[in-house]
Amino acid sequence: MLSRIIYICNKPSVVHTKFFKYRLSGLLVFLLILIVGCQQGGSSADPINRHADHLIYTRHARCRMGCRLITETEIREILENGTIDYRKSEPDAKPDPKYALEGSTNEGQHLRIIFAPSQKGLVVITCIELGVEWKCDCD
């Protein structure tokens, strides 16, 4: 009797075979998507390197940072976590495209930072604290 129960439990059924095929197919599709994504270097929709080792600050950006009390750490926060505002960006600009990234820092500042990927590295063009007017003598 026990051997009959074990045979019935271990007997491959049509339902189990189909379920296994669907699970295997789903796993293969997931692995294919993962492999293709890794080969493309992550998200192909993101036009800038969010983890650049070295940022190049323009004189104008440094001046605006001083006027608006924005730190390099906050610039990096927006680079890593901000969203691209394509209405304020110039992806077709020559010689280098410009991207406006917006977000809030850990200190609650709502910032827009303009970045330009170039052959020399990622350039910080300017920074703006949204909703706040700062007196600044930068030219």
Q: Per-residue pLDDT for 5 more than 70?
A: no
Give the model's confidence band at 33: pLDDT under 50 very low, under 70 low, under 90 confident, else very high: very low
**Across 59-81, average pLDDT:** 96
> What's residue 44's pLDDT?
55
The rounded Cα 64 to chain-centroid distance in angstroms is: 25
pTM: 0.67
Higher pLDDT, 96 or 62: 62
- Token pair for 60: 């104008």
Give the model's confidence band at 26: pLDDT under 50 very low, under 70 low, under 90 confident, else very high: low
Q: In whole angstroms, what is the distance from residue 41 CA to residue 95 CA?
A: 24
Q: In whole angstroms, what is the distance from residue 33 CA to residue 11 CA?
A: 34
**Across 10-17, average pLDDT:** 58
- Token pair for 129: 């604290």
